[in-house]
């Protein structure tokens, strides 16, 4: 039997037997919609966890020289930047308070961080020029707080015991995960400046542990307690566990929904086959092979299953959208394909049953 | 040429043997009526000849091929392409139009739908039911349905047509029409073959027996 004839027969049979056709379509639609509205939400949550895991904030390693032992010099910063597991690295001194030099000591204080390294790794220049050593960039918020009309001018230390000032040569917006710099100024460090902390953004949360070991090796603290470490390792592990738990839950739920749906489709197809046993017996008598009968039963299940998958995906996405948890397109496509495959697979046994009935017995049954 | 040799059949392993080693050659171009008392296996013989039942002994030979013991798939293909069936109750698909029912065996034989439909319309025209081609079986009379069933049996131009009590449910007028159609079917030489088509009718209708060319009594 030709493939085109087979499909046409499947379509005609599906159209002629509207109740089982509608039931198969409905069941597959429910399978898809339920999966997308439940497992899909889990998949979306899993995706969100993965996104957060991938965010720069979850990949930030901070090593602080707790005893002021001059451990984090420019060479350590440069070597850390050169590591294969490093995306960005800068040395940062303890922030100091500064005021607008024009106003003087009575001006409003804002923090200033002295940063050793490529400033483009911590901020984006929005006005002016890149600062040289001892020059500063000001954030929009700090500019307003200091009372600067433009991001140009000078600030001085607010301390009564130290004297110093910095020229302001431009404005910036901080890059993640250096959002706290939005409150103040960033000062370019002198070439030989010693930093108090080393900020390292690793390339991937999965390499956080290796990066930590490598950076500690470069900093080389003389004592174990010479440094303190703020590590993303524990956070990465926790998020990975949460993602794994969500994944396991989602897969179990998916298998449950597909299994239950496939069972119901199998019952509908079997009932349809039993009702149509005379029709199938006639087809066998007229020359349909067992393979053709199996293929016809599967085709007559496949076509409404495809329709149901389309309807179910639409309904499921609408429901997921109501919960603001649209699953990834790969999950949506996979769900539709799995639901159709489950329906088709569940039709195989009833189809084999239909194909192996004795046509004479069926035809002679009054 | 259809023949049986030393043919016996039993529905169960140790059940009653039917036909008792029947050997017979059915003459091409003739209508052979198979008759006998109820329970002697008239319909069963047709199902054995139609390769739906496998003989417990002996064989069915079609055009020198021992077809009765072939694989199920091979027998199905022979049934689709070389054997036509007319059932007592016409057995048309109630959900499909008449033309769709007529072309069924051709589709199973691997014909394209276009070719099958063209042949189906020709046959419906010959049988005088072309006007009913797009009607469903519930919208035509019993006699018309049986003539449609004859069209279905002939659509693949088979070597053999088997009819099981084709006039059993019909009045005399319609029975005459169906018998005439089956008789005409013997005249058509299959693929140019001069001998014509073998038509075998299982019946106890005296009218059919009277008009058959040959009678095989079981």
Q: Tens of pLDDT along B11-40?
A: 887 788 888 899 999 988 899 999 988 888
Of A308, A304, A293, A305, residue with least CA distance to A350 = A293
Compute the average pLDDT of residues B197-214: 90
Highest mean pLDDT among A316-320, B104-108, B167-171: B104-108
Q: Does residue B166 form part of some domain?
A: yes
Q: Which of A4, A16, A359 comes nearest B52 by C-beta?
A: A359
Task: Report the SS3 class of residue B195.
Answer: coil
What are the residue boundaries of the structural domains of chain A, listed by start?
3-52+239-364, 56-238
Q: Does residue B106 form part of some domain?
A: yes
Q: Which of A5, A13, A286 comes nearest B113 by C-beta?
A: A5
Portion 143-202 of B in contact with A at CB < 8 A: 152
Of A104, A102, A105, A95, residue with least CA distance to A139 = A95
Q: Count the neighbouring beta carbons within 10 Å of the beta carbon of residue A214.
A: 20
Answer yes or no: is pLDDT of B88 > 70.
Answer: yes
Distance of alpha carbon B73 from the chain centroid: 19
Q: Does residue B139 form part of some domain?
A: yes
Q: Is A290 on the interface with B (CB under 8 A)?
A: yes
- Total domains in chain B come to 1
Global pTM value? 0.67
What is the rounded average pLDDT for all residues in chain A?
A: 88
Task: Report the SS3 class of residue A297.
Answer: helix
What is the rounded average pLDDT for all residues in chain B?
A: 89
Q: What is the pLDDT of residues A266-298, one digit of tens each?
A: 999 999 999 888 888 889 999 999 999 999 999
Q: Is A360 on the interface with B (CB under 8 A)?
A: yes
* Distance, CA of B99 to CA of B127 (rounded, Å): 13
In order of A32, A166, A250, A316, B89, the CA distances from A333 in angstroms are: 10, 58, 16, 12, 48
**For chain B, how many helices (H) and strands (E)?**
8, 9
What confidence score (pLDDT) does residue A82 get? 94
Q: Does residue B20 form part of some domain?
A: no
Closest residue on chain A to B104 (Cα): A286
Q: Is B81 on the interface with A (CB under 8 A)?
A: yes
Q: What is the CATH number of the domain that holds B90?
A: 3.40.50.300
What range defines the domain where residue B125 resides? Answer: 27-52+71-217
Answer yes or no: is pLDDT of A54 > 70.
Answer: no
Answer yes or no: is pLDDT of A35 > 90.
Answer: no
Closest residue on chain B to A12 (Cα): B96
Exposed, middle or buried: residue B110 (CB in 10 Å: 0-12, 13-18, 19+)?
Answer: middle
Answer yes or no: is pLDDT of A127 > 60.
Answer: yes
Please indicate whether, in this complex, the C-beta atoms of A282 and B95 are within 8 angstroms of each other.
no
Task: Report the SS3 class of residue B192.
Answer: helix
Please indicate whether, in this complex, the C-beta atoms of B76 and A283 are within 8 angstroms of each other.
no
Give how far B97 is from chain A: nearest CA, Å. 11
Compute the average pLDDT of residues B45-71: 92
Distance of alpha carbon A181 from the chain centroid: 27
**Beta carbons within 8 Å of B105's beta carbon, 6+ residues apart:** A286, A287, B79, B80, B81, B84, B152, B153, B155, B156
What confidence score (pLDDT) does residue B12 get? 84
Q: Is B141 on the interface with A (CB under 8 A)?
A: no
Compute the average pLDDT of residues A334-363: 89
Could you report the predicted ipTM of this complex, rounded to two decimals? 0.90
* Distance, CA of A308 to CA of A31 (rounded, Å): 9
Closest residue on chain A to B154 (Cα): A286
Q: Is A275 on the interface with B (CB under 8 A)?
A: no
Of A2, A20, A1, residue with least CA distance to A301 = A20
Task: Report the SS3 class of residue B71.
Answer: coil
Of B140, B127, B56, residue with least CA distance to B96 = B140
> How confident is residue A181, by pLDDT bands cut at 50, 70 and 90?
very high
Size of interface A-B (CB pairs under 8 A): 74
Q: Does residue B131 form part of some domain?
A: yes
Whether A98 contacts A156, CB under 8 Å: yes
Which residue is associated with the tokens 């001018």?
A153
């Amino acid at each position: 039997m030709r493939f085109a004839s087979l499909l046409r027969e499947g379509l005609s049979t599906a159209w002629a037997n509207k109740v089982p056709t509608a039931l198969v379509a409905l069941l597959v639609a429910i399978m898809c919609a339920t999966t997308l509205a439940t497992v899909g939400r889990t998949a979306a949550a899993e995706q969100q966890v993965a996104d957060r895991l991938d965010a720069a904030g979850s990949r930030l390693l901070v090593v602080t020289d707790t005893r002021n032992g001059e451990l984090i010099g420019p060479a350590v910063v440069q070597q850390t930047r050169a590591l294969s597991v490093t995306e960005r690295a800068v040395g940062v001194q303890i922030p100091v308070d500064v005021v607008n030099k024009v106003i003087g000591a009575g001006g409003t204080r804002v923090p200033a961080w002295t940063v050793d390294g490529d400033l483009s790794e911590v901020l984006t220049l929005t006005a002016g020029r890149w600062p040289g050593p001892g020059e500063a960039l000001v954030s929009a918020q700090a500019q307003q707080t200091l009372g600067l009309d433009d991001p140009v001018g000078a600030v001085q230390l607010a301390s009564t015991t130290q004297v110093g000032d910095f020229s302001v040569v431009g404005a910036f917006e901080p890059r993640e995960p250096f959002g706290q710099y939005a409150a103040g100024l960033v000062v370019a460090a002198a070439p030989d400046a010693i930093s108090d902390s080393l900020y390292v953004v690793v390339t991937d949360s999965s390499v956080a542990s290796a990066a930590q070991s490598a950076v500690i090796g470069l900093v080389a603290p003389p004592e174990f307690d010479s440094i303190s470490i703020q590590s993303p390792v524990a956070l990465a592990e926790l998020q990975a566990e949460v993602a794994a738990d969500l994944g396991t839950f989602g897969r179990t739920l998916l298998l449950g929904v597909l299994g239950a749906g496939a069972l119901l489709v199998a019952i509908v197809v079997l009932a349809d086959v039993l009702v149509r046993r005379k029709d199938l017996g006639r087809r066998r008598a007229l020359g349909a092979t067992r393979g053709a009968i199996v293929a016809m039963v599967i085709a007559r299940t496949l076509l409404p299953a495809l329709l149901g998958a389309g309807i179910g995906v639409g309904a499921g996405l609408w429901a997921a959208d109501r919960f603001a948890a649209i699953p990834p397109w790969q999950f949506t496509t996979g769900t539709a394909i799995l639901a159709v495959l489950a329906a088709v697979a569940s039709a195989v046994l009833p189809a084999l049953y239909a194909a192996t009935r004795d046509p004479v017995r069926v035809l002679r049954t009054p | 040429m259809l023949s049986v040799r030393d043919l016996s059949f039993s529905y169960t392993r140790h059940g009653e043997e039917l036909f008792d080693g029947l050997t017979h050659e059915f003459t091409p171009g003739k209508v052979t009526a198979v008759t006998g008392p109820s329970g002697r296996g008239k319909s069963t013989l047709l199902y054995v000849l139609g390769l739906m039942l496998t003989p417990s002994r002996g064989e069915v030979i079609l055009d020198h091929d021992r077809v009765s013991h072939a694989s199920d798939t091979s027998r199905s293909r022979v049934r689709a392409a070389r054997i036509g069936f007319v059932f007592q109750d016409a057995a048309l698909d109630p959900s499909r139009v008449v033309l769709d029912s007529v072309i069924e065996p051709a589709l199973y034989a691997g014909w394209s739908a276009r070719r099958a439909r063209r042949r189906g319309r020709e046959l419906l025209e010959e049988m005088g039911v072309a006007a009913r081609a797009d009607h469903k079986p519930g919208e035509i009379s019993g006699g018309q349905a049986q003539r449609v069933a004859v069209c279905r049996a002939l659509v693949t131009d088979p070597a053999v047509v088997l009819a099981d009590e084709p006039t059993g449910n019909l009045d005399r007028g319609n029975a005459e029409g169906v018998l005439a159609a089956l008789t005409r079917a013997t005249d058509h030489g299959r693929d140019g073959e001069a001998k014509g088509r073998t038509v075998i009718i299982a019946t106890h209708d005296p009218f059919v027996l009277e008009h058959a060319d040959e009678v095989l009594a079981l």
